[in-house]
Amino acid sequence: MIKVYSTPTCPHCKKVKEFLDSINAHYTDVNVIKDRVAREKMIEISGQQGVPVIDIDGEIVLGFDKPAIINTLDKHRALMK
């Protein structure tokens, strides 16, 4: 499961979601401005308040780090086979 912790005005969040859409990855977009509990969870798992934070099956990627996102997705896909 992929969760993208984001805000509506964050340009890097938009890039993450566009990238995930381009590779047909299914994800849940979590707006941390509207959801205080999710914001607290994001800070707990990432150690930071900045967005985007991507949670890929419990593995955290900070920011729009395309190589890290691809590597993490590939690793989790391999584990599922």
Find the domain containing 9 and state its range. Answer: 2-80
In this predicted structure, what is the pLDDT of residue 79?
61
The number of C-alpha atoms within 13 Å of 9 and in the hemisphere containing its C-beta is 3
In this predicted structure, what is the pLDDT of residue 81?
53
Reported as a pLDDT band with limits 50, 70 and 90, residue 76 is confident
Total of domains in the chain = 1
DSSP label at residue 27:
-
Q: Contact 60/45 with Cβ under 8 angstroms?
A: yes
CATH number at residue 72: 3.40.30.10
Query: pTM of this prediction?
Result: 0.93
Q: What tokens does 39 get? A: 């914001």
Residue 58 in this model has a pLDDT that exceeds 90: yes
